[in-house]
Amino acid sequence: MRHARALATARETGIFLAFVLVLVVTTTKNPAFLFSNDGFRDLLLTPATLILIAVGEAIVIITRNVDLSVGSTIGLTAYLTGYLFKTAPDIPWPVVILISILFGGLLGLVNGALVAFAKVPSLVITLGTLYAFRGINVLWTGSNRINASDMPRGFLALGTAKLWVIPVIAIIAAVVLIAAAWYLRNTRGGRELYAIGSDPDAANLYGLRVTRRILLAFITSGALAGLAGVLYTARYGTVDSQAGYGLELQAVGAAVIGGVAIFGGSGSVWGAAIGAVLLVTINRALPVLGIQDFWQQAVVGLLIIAAIILDRVLALRTAKRLTVLTGEQA
Amino acid sequence: MSPAPAAATPAHALELRKVVKTFGAVVALRSGTLALDNGSIHALVGENGAGKSTLVKIIAGLYQPDSGEFLLNGEPASFSSTAQAKAAGIAVIYQEPTLFPDLTVTENIFMGRQPLRSLGRIDRKAMHSEAIALFDRLGVKINPDRPARGLSIADQQIIEIAKAISLDARVLIMDEPTAALSGVEVDRLFAVARSLRDEGRALLFISHRFDEVFALCDVVTVMRDGSYISTEKIADTDVDTIVRQMVGRDVSELFPKQETTVGEVLLDVQGLSTAGVFQDISFQVRAGEIVGLAGLVGAGRSEVARAVFGVDRYDSGTVIVQGRRVPGHDPAAAMRAGLGLVPEDRRKQGLVIGTSVARNLTLAIRNQLSRAGIITDRAENAASRIWASRLEVKSAALDTEVGTFSGGNQQKVVLAKWLATEPKVLIVDEPTRGIDVGTKAEVHRLLSQLAGEGIGILMISSELPEVLGMADRVLVMREGRITAAIERKDATAETVMYAATHGGHDGSAKGGAAA
């Protein structure tokens, strides 16, 4: 009973219902959107990359920071993955995956160290690395392109493989999501991330290891972007210098739509993941519904603004309720 | 000096000897000496700026001393972080509550040391029931599942105390924990403090209220200007001696209310109501009058002040200043009409922490100062210098960052800011909360002087002596209603407290008033 009520009032439920609405309306118009093999596969497969980086982004935003460099991190790690296959074909492909994830984590460490030690706002730092990482990427790649023929078959199979009817990539995203949600909810480290975002000064007074936690949040975000870069390569089988371009704003958008407060301290990775699914599905649904291309971005923008207004209204309502409660208590 | 030890004296639970702390050229602590014993409550008193807070921050591991000795159970100790001090069994309840607004009350208590199950999972059930047990022990009703956001300062303090108790700290430092508590809550806190002492813990209690120091503590240490002055058993000393040691002079007049002639009605509030907060509030403030607004914490006094000034909306009623109606929910209009509000929470509502004294002083008169929309430093400094000197704000330079000031000096800056707007009616909310005796008297003298100049003053205060000493008339609120209006000659601690706890309407009282 208590659980049912908590579920009904959870911020994530609203977003999920919005997703269901989009799905039902679109499927009514064109049943193949859900009930064809391709339709069902795409529904699960296309949001996977965005889910991964939205989870990382949510973790960073919860600590009252932001990571704008994830798109560029995907670009670098995706190219690194292809580059290793091409130049060092002897390395087994699972090791290549591991190297790319670690490299993503290293890029995250660069962000985190600059934020935590240099005490510069993360918005500025990661805006810088957004351009710096992409610049390095373009320098390194030039006009080269790595193609499917350069990559081992086992690795490429990852992009299309299914477990029963579910794409393996979607399963990977789901596993990461569940692990992150579990960590944030059930461990001291996870709760401390919320505490730090809620009031950084108080966190210092409590003796929480603020610097270390913020470093870890950025490393996680970078590593998840690294994993997303690997899966991008596996799925599309071709990489140039523009992989992941612009995804950072989609990640931030997904987190905000999913109810992660932009000033930190509240929200969940579930919300961010559902936000990611909603964003991607809307983008796919609009053409089916016959809405012109250039409306799509406007719809995403409206969604973000609606989410923020909803949060504000809910916060005011809670504040009012709490005031009345306190009044009765006195 | 102390009685010669008969046998080997057990080591002090915590001892500081001649500890020095400087910040650049500023000496915050000249010579800090303090010895806390197990099973004893030790009071630390001194004016603001005497170095008490610095001393506490050194004990808490927030600051590292420049020189001097720091012993814990006779062993040298040095903390480079608050976590180390905590691990050594030292808990500090700070003056300014430090809670995480987005997290629940329970999480706030246990943050960083939640009880764990297998796999490093937090044991939510254990945490929840422990929180309930803690609140039972403190005798308070706070929903452990609600977020900390929106809690009153009194409740936040209670949570701080619960946190320290749950730490099972051997040394418990309370930096003015009672500043925002009502009488009942203070009694409860004292009962808990005594039981902690009887368990053999060492407590340090910092307070500006001497009645509390004498009611609760066993030993008292006095500090002045960053230096240790004396340590004496409470039984061997008295208030006059301590005050003399604190200020280095006699404080004869604590509440210097001047007699004034009361003039025309300046502020007329009629039937002000906001559902669930306060009902049917009507009162008048006349020129030259100080009206005290008394009541327990949570009675709705600050809320009334905020509504009158237009910060919060109200459902019905009117606010009239000098015969003209002031529109609701419009602080700018209230200021134009001649109202000023000195809020309760200086740091959050009264000052722009992080900017200079001059900037803060001129904040409310920026429109007057600007020429074609531009304010020069010179205009700002010239305007603020007048007020800074009149209020004797101790500041080497007007460009000092206001957050570095002691509480007393911050309060003077807030007062000066409003006086610069030349208000007709000044609402002051807890004007001397957390302020030392010397500065307190200055604030009182200033308020009295302002009333003498014909300003009407509405003074919200939880300190009864202050209300009784300063106010020409005392309004008492209880549960959102005004339950009594008492003239100065009839106002005693008993009449005011009775109205604050029993008076007026009787919705759900347990039939206590009749007896």
| ipTM score for this prediction | 0.85
Q: How many CB atoms lie within 10 A of CB A159?
A: 19
| Token representation of residue A291 | 């809405």
DSSP lists the bridge partners of residue B202 as B40, B171
Contact B324, B309 (CB under 8 A): no
* Minimum distance, in Å, between the CA of residue A52 and any CA atom of chain B: 24
Q: At what angle do helices A48-62 and A210-236 cross, to 10 degrees?
A: 170
Whether A136 maps to a domain, the answer reads: yes
Residue A323 is nearest to which of B102, B116, B277, comparing CB atoms?
A: B277
Tell me the per-residue pLDDT of B396-447, one tens digit each, with 9 for 90 and over: 567 777 777 777 778 888 888 888 888 899 999 988 876 766 777 788 888 8
* Minimum distance, in Å, between the CA of residue A7 and any CA atom of chain B: 16
Whether A8 maps to a domain, the answer reads: no
Q: How many CB atoms lie within 10 A of CB B330?
A: 14
State whether A188 and B296 contact (CB < 8 Å).
no
State whether B122 and A188 contact (CB < 8 Å).
yes
Model pLDDT, residue B131? 93
pTM of the model: 0.70
Whether A169 maps to a domain, the answer reads: yes
Q: Which residues of B touch A206 (CB under 8 A)?
A: 82, 98, 111-112
Which residues have CB under 8 Å from B450's CB, separation 6+? B419, B426, B457
Whether A107 maps to a domain, the answer reads: yes
Q: Which domain holds residue A61?
A: 45-251
Q: Does B169 touch chain A (CB under 8 A)?
A: no
Nearest to B285 by CA among B263, B260, B306: B263
User: Which residue of B62, B93, B103 to mutate against A (max A Cβ within 10 Å)?
Assistant: B103
Nearest CA in chain A to B99: A202
Q: At what angle do helices A70-87 and A247-257 cross, to 10 degrees?
A: 130
Q: Cα–Cα distances in Å, from B294 out to B103, B196, B337, B429, B488?
A: 32, 32, 25, 11, 13
DSSP for B453-473, please give it.
TT-EEEEE-S-HHHHHHH-SE
Model pLDDT, residue B92? 85
Whether A15 maps to a domain, the answer reads: no
State whether B103 and A206 contact (CB < 8 Å).
no
Question: SS3 for A117?
Answer: helix
Nearest CA in chain A to B299: A330
Whether A287 maps to a domain, the answer reads: no
User: Which residue of B82, B100, B184 to mutate against A (max A Cβ within 10 Å)?
Assistant: B100
Give kind and range of the element (H or E) at residue B411: helix B407-419
Nearest CA in chain A to B278: A327
* Minimum distance, in Å, between the CA of residue B99 and any CA atom of chain A: 6
Whether A180 maps to a domain, the answer reads: yes
Amino acid at B306: R
Helices (H), chain A: 2-9, 11-29, 32-35, 37-45, 48-62, 70-87, 93-118, 122-141, 153-160, 168-186, 188-198, 200-205, 210-236, 247-257, 269-288, 293-329
Q: Which residues of A touch B276 (CB under 8 A)?
A: 323-324, 327-328
The tens place of each residue's pLDDT in chain A, 330 residues long, gives 556 666 656 778 888 888 899 899 999 999 888 888 888 888 888 999 999 999 999 999 999 999 999 999 999 999 999 999 999 989 999 999 999 999 999 999 999 999 988 888 999 999 999 999 999 999 999 888 888 888 998 899 888 888 888 899 999 999 999 999 999 999 999 999 999 999 998 898 788 899 999 999 999 999 999 999 999 999 998 998 889 999 999 999 999 989 898 889 989 999 999 999 999 998 888 888 888 877 878 887 888 888 778 777 877 777 676 655 554 443
Q: Which residues of chain A approach chain B closer than 8 Å at the C-beta?
A: 186-188, 191-192, 194-195, 197-199, 201-209, 261, 265-266, 318-319, 322-330
Q: Cα–Cα distances in Å, from B132 out to A206, B140, B505?
A: 21, 10, 32
Nearest CA in chain A to B298: A330
Q: What is the count of structural domains for chain A?
A: 1
Which residues have CB under 8 Å from A175's CB, separation 6+? none
Residue A192 is nearest to which of B82, B111, B121, comparing CB atoms?
A: B111
Distance (Å, whole) CA B382 – CA B365: 13
Residue A199 is nearest to which of B101, B114, B121, comparing CB atoms?
A: B101
Print burial letters for B56-72: b (CB count within 10 Å at least 16), e (below 16). Answer: bbbbbbbbebeebebbb
Q: Which residues of A touch B112 (CB under 8 A)?
A: 188, 192, 195, 206-208
For chain B, the maximum distance between any two Cα atoms, rounded to a whole number of angstroms, is 79
* Minimum distance, in Å, between the CA of residue A266 and any CA atom of chain B: 6
B189-B190-B192-B197 Cα dihedral, nearest 10 degrees: 140
Model pLDDT, residue A78? 95
Contact A176, A55 (CB under 8 A): yes
Whether A149 maps to a domain, the answer reads: yes
Ordered strands of the B290-295 beta sheet: B339-342, B425-429, B456-460, B290-295, B473-478, B481-487
Nearest CA in chain B to A261: B102
Q: Which residues of A touch B311 (CB under 8 A)?
A: none
Distance (Å, whole) CA A140 – CA A80: 10
Model pLDDT, residue B224? 83
Domains by residue range for chain B, with CATH = 14-99+151-247 (3.40.50.300), 263-338+424-505 (3.40.50.300), 349-422 (no CATH)
Q: Which residues of A touch B122 (CB under 8 A)?
A: 186-188, 191
Contact B267, B425 (CB under 8 A): yes
Those residues of chain B that have pLDDT short of 70 are 1-10, 25-26, 47-49, 95-96, 153-154, 179-180, 247-257, 297, 347-350, 390-397, 434, 436-437, 501-515
Contact B362, B376 (CB under 8 A): no
Nearest CA in chain A to B481: A327
Q: Which residue has the tokens 């944030």?
A: A184
Model pLDDT, residue A268? 93
State whether A326 and B155 contact (CB < 8 Å).
yes
Q: Which residues of B touch A324 (CB under 8 A)?
A: 276-277
Model pLDDT, residue B253? 47
